[in-house]
A and B are shown apart, each in its own frame.
Chain A
Amino acid sequence: MTSQPAGISLRGVGKTYRGRGKTVEALRDMNLECAPGSFTALIGPSGCGKSTAMRVALGLESYDSGEVLIAGQTPARATAGGVTGVAFQDAALLPWRSVAKNVALPLEVLGRDPAKSKVEIAQLIDLVGLKGYENALPGELSGGMRQRVSIARSLITSPEVLFMDEPFGALDQIRRRQMNVELQRIWSETQSTALLVTHGIDEAIFLADQVVVMHANPGRVVEIIDVPFARPRQPDLFSDPAFHALTDRIAKVLHEE
């Protein structure tokens, strides 16, 4: 593998959208360092630039100033090299492809032969608890199951860096907690650097090593809070007093202007 350090590094990144007579400063001087193998959560209100930060890191959008390095490379090189994996808010599955073929999509984009990865595809589908659904079409699955397919798809390239943009945003609270627990298990098995964009404070705390709180107008980082809880974290952490104290603290930072 590469000798370059895995991880995510944004240094002084700025990004402004210019529309007709209206400019929106989506990101101002954003600094973020994610150590290799760490889990980071980005949290903030709508329009705070958390999704923009992720899209910039993925090379889906350009940025005006600063420097972005993914595993020591530019975003474009990192994504084209299969270093990254990504899961979006919608499962974004192609409705005409089976579960297995959806999971294999990144391999096709990268020009690799999916037939060689049959074992990995089956293992990942098993890992997200969908064994037996390999040939099902997305339309036949529930919302939670579709989301798990998209998690499996994000892992198919064995990514060093994993990006998730509100992957459980469309799920109900109960299903969401189950998925949080499963995601922690899956992530700990892959040893990847993870960046999660989310609206949920409890989700951020439960999963992350550091929670990055952002504010809007202009989109900026206001505070980075470390999460001290030991791993593996159990579901009963959600009702721990220390967990609630941290939740209150982050909520306070989120709501002060």
Chain B
Amino acid sequence: MRNNLASPWMKSVRNFVILIAVWEFVGRMDWVAGGALPSLSEILIQLWLDRADYPLHIWATVYASSLGFLIGNVLAIVAGIAFVLSPTLLRLMRGVNIAIFALPPIAIAPILVLTLSGMAPRVTLAALGVYFVTMSATVIGLSQYDSRSADLVRAYGGGNWLVLKLVRVRGAIPDILSGLRIAAPNAVLGAILAEFGGGGRWGLGTYLLGSLGRGDPARLWGIGLVATLIAGLSYAVFALISSRISGSTAIPSSHGSDGFSRPTQALILCGTVALPFILWWAFIKLTGVPDLIAKTPFGVFDYLFLSDTSAIARGKLLEALGQTLPIAAVGMIAGLAFAFLLAISSRMFPGFIKGFMPIALVTQTMPLVALTPLLVLILGRGYSVTLWITISVTFFPAFVLLVQGIQRVPQSVLDLPRAYGASAWKEMRMVSIPAALPYLFAATRLTVPRALLGVMIAEWLATGTGLGNLLNRSRGLLDYGMIWTVASVTVLLAVAFYYLVLIVERRTLARLGMQNVE
């Protein structure tokens, strides 16, 4: 009976202590891959021995991620306010927004290193990592407000600006804060990935990469722990400021086509598609990097189709795609399927979910993909490491989203089938699965970029195949055309996937009479 009274918190703490104990024991016994998983005490001892190395590495990463966090969020909030005031602008920028959301940071890290210098690539990647989350949170926060309060201001002759100032901005602050909370670990991840991408002596990413070849598991784990700690702390700071539980992962959209004639709409659509390419072109012209190194969209087209070596380049690219895409798809499907099954069965094993949910939430704050070297250490350099990374980066966010979605179903709706004597299976079929379906689609959309990122990092660091490897090798061969090609093709693919899922989602849910989760 006492056990029933224990809070979920106590259970989580208990599980955590058990986990640490098992870890210590397994590590001491060298049971995993011949000592690739050291015990916690061994890691801490190594951390102490290396203590002279850490301050400069930590400082470099924290500096880049903080600056990127600041710049990215200022831009995001300004953009969010502008988008709310002008839906046309939001629509026009949609292509850019989706591209920033979907781009796997590792794909453009080499580009940024080529075109920018010093800390700038790291700061840029960190800023890109936070922009989308905060921008969406700002738009959503400003869009959800009490229409009566807005009417009141209008009833006294107030315009859009006064409504924004008096009613909407203040109401959006909790949403913006929860956006900042989710964005904070992204900044750390961005900085570390840029460090993988090259340049600079200091930084936890550089340190991690440099230690990978030295075969000292305890040190690698120490760096991983410190990186996780920094990301977790940045998350905790904003979690403390805002006590909201769930953040929004929505993509703000301007629904309907009110007030625009067909030609105007077509014009806006053209602008939406063209704008990312225009910005790409402008970025290169503004940085003033020579054409040989920095390729404009035309340069990439030229490299792939018009130059003498085009055929060879296309062959390499297709071969890499053939290696990367199947394994990304398999890993993603496995991760999503596992998350879906576990989430819909949560009604049958509520105790397990209660104990597991905190762990799943904690992983959200970890720069999972930045910890790839640790998995390489355990799983070797084969395909299994790619698969496991992809599964882990898709499983956790999908699981959290699905469980939160199912929890939003009112208790009375869940109880209704039971009241008519339905079995647990029937109840699941009638309520839990349909309730989880919209969230499954949303999870698919949101995890596509993560899956690509996970696969590419594994390829870059470990397996020596696919797009990630092609990117890394081209760096060594100074094959600038290929670097730009891989980066642009990856981003295009991620955006295309996103839209593909969105179209299937809209069709399916419309047929089932459901709302999609924005």
In contact, A79 and B155 (Cβ under 8 angstroms):
yes
Chain B interface: which of A36-44, A104-112, A193-201, A244-252?
Answer: A104-112
**Chain A residues within 8 Å of B155, by CB:** 58-60, 79, 84, 86, 163
Given the interface contacts A105-B166, A108-B166, A109-B166, does A92 sit within 8 Å of B157 by beta carbon? no
Asked whether A88 lies within 8 Å of B148 as measured between CB atoms, the reply is yes
B146 — nearest CB in chain A belongs to which residue? Answer: A92
Contact B167 A94 (CB under 8 A): yes
**Complex formed: what's the CA distance from A1 to B154 in Å?**
24
Q: What are the residues of chain B within 8 A of A93 when measuring CB–CB? A: 149
Interface bin, chain B: 10 to 19
Question: Are the CB atoms of A92 and B151 closer together than 8 Å?
Answer: yes
B136-178 CB mask vs A (1 if < 8 Å, else 0) is 0000000000101101111111100010001100110000000
**Residue pair A88, B162 in contact (C-beta under 8 Å):** no
Task: Please report the C-alpha to C-alpha distance between residue A219 and residue B149 in the assembled complex, in whole angstroms.
Answer: 26
**A25 within 8 Å of B by Cβ?**
no
Majority secondary structure, B binding face: helix
Complex CA distance for A84 and B151, rounded to whole angstroms: 13
Is A134 an interface residue, CB under 8 A from the partner? no
Q: A residues within 8 A CB of B148?
A: 88-90, 92
The residue that A88 contacts in the complex, of B151, B166, B170, with Cβ under 8 A, is B151
Nearest B residue (CB) for A91: B148
Neighbouring B residues of A88 by C-beta, 8 Å: 148, 151-152
Residues of A contacting B167 with CB < 8 Å? 94
Q: How far is the CB of B156 from chain A (nearest CB, A)?
A: 4
Do A92 and B152 form a contact, CB below 8 Å, given A79-B157, A109-B158, A110-B157?
Answer: yes
- Measured CB to CB, the closest approach of chain A to B152, in angstroms, equals 5
Number of contact residues on A: which range applies? Answer: 20 to 34
Most chain A beta carbons < 10 A, residue from B153, B157, B162: B157
**In contact, A109 and B153 (Cβ under 8 angstroms):** yes
Q: Is the CB of B170 within 8 A of A105?
A: no
Determine the chain B residues whose CB is within 8 A of the CB of A60 once the complex forms. Answer: 151, 154-155
When chains A and B are docked, how far (Å) is the Cα of A106 from the Cα of B151?
11
CA distance in complex: A90, B149 (Å): 9
Docked-complex contact A109 and B162, CB < 8 angstroms: yes
At the interface, yes or no: A76 with Cβ under 8 Å from chain B? yes
Q: Is A82 an interface residue (CB 8 A)?
A: yes
Q: Please tell me which one of the listed residues A76, A79, A94 contacts residue B149 in the complex, with CB atoms under 8 A apart.
A: A94
- Residue of A with least CB distance to B162: A109
Contacts of B151 on A, CB cut-off 8 Å?
Answer: 55, 60, 88, 92
Q: Does A237 contact B (CB under 8 A)?
A: no
Asked, given contacts A88-B151, A109-B162, whether A94 binds B156 with beta carbons under 8 Å apart, the answer is no
Distance from A163 Cβ to chain B, minimum over Cβ atoms (Å)? 8
Q: Is A171 at the interface (CB under 8 A from chain B)? A: no
In this complex, what residue of B is CB-closest to A94? B149
CA distance A94 to B155 in the complex (A): 15
Question: Out of B152, B166, B171, which one reaches A86, CB within 8 Å?
Answer: B152
Cβ proximity bits A30-74 to B, threshold 8 Å, 1 near / 0 not:
000000000000000000000000010011100000000000000
Contact of A82 among B153, B154, B156 (CB under 8 A): B156
A255 and B208 alpha carbons, distance in the complex (Å)? 79
Give Cα A96–Cα B154 distance, bound, in whole angstroms: 19
Q: Which residues of chain A are within 8 angstroms of B166 by Cβ–Cβ distance?
A: 94, 105, 108-109
Partner of A80, one of B152, B157, B170: B157
How far apart are A80's CB and chain B's nearest CB, in angstroms? 3
- Tell me the minimal C-beta distance from A24 to chain B in angstroms: 17
The answer to whether A109 touches B170, judged by C-beta atoms less than 8 angstroms apart, is: no
For the complex, give the distance between the alpha carbons of A58 and B170 in Å.
25
Q: Which residues of A contact B158 (CB under 8 A)?
A: 109
- Tell me, in angstroms, the Cα distance from A89 to B146 when the chains sit together: 13
Instruction: For A81, list chain B residues within 8 Å (CB).
Output: 157
**Residue of A at shortest CB range from B149?**
A92
Report whether B152 and A76 are in contact in the complex, using a CB–CB cutoff of 8 Å: no
Q: A76 — which chain B residues lie within 8 A by C-beta?
A: 157
Tell me the residues in window 76-117 of chain B with beta carbons closer than 8 Å to chain A beta carbons.
Answer: none
What B residues does A89 contact at CB under 8 A?
148
A110 touches B149 (CB 8 A): no
Contact at A109–B157, with CB atoms within 8 Å? Answer: yes
Which residues in B have their C-beta under 8 angstroms from that of A157? 156
Q: List the B residue with the shortest CB-CB distance to A54.
A: B155
Q: Most chain-A CB neighbours within 10 Å: which of B146, B149, B156, B158?
A: B156
Query: Separation in Å of the B265 CB from the closest CB of chain A?
Result: 16
Taken together as a complex, chains A and B put the C-alpha atoms of A89 and B148 apart, in Å, by: 9
Knowing A60-B151, A88-B151, A92-B146 touch, does A79 contact B156 (C-beta < 8 A)? yes
Q: Which residues of B contact A92 (CB under 8 A)?
A: 146, 148-149, 151-152
* Minimum distance in angstroms from B368 CB to a CB of chain A: 37
Interface pair A110/B152, CB less than 8 Å apart: no
A55 to B162, CA, bound (A): 19
Neighbouring A residues of B171 by C-beta, 8 Å:
96
Among residues of A, the one whose C-beta sits closest to the C-beta of B156 is A109
Kindly state the separation between the CA atoms of A69 and B154 in the bound complex, as whole angstroms. 18
A sample of 17 cross-chain residue pairs with beta-carbon separation below 8 angstroms, ordered by A number, consists of A58-B155, A59-B154, A59-B157, A79-B155, A81-B157, A86-B152, A89-B148, A92-B148, A92-B149, A94-B167, A96-B170, A105-B152, A105-B166, A106-B152, A109-B153, A109-B156, A109-B166
Q: B residues near A, CB below 8 A? A: 146, 148-149, 151-158, 162, 166-167, 170-171
Give me 10 other A-B pairs in contact (C-beta within 8 A), A108-B166, A110-B157 excluded.
Answer: A59-B155, A81-B157, A92-B146, A92-B149, A93-B149, A94-B149, A94-B166, A94-B170, A106-B156, A163-B155
* A-B CB proximity, top 10 nearest: A80-B157, A92-B148, A109-B156, A109-B158, A86-B155, A79-B157, A106-B156, A58-B155, A92-B149, A88-B148
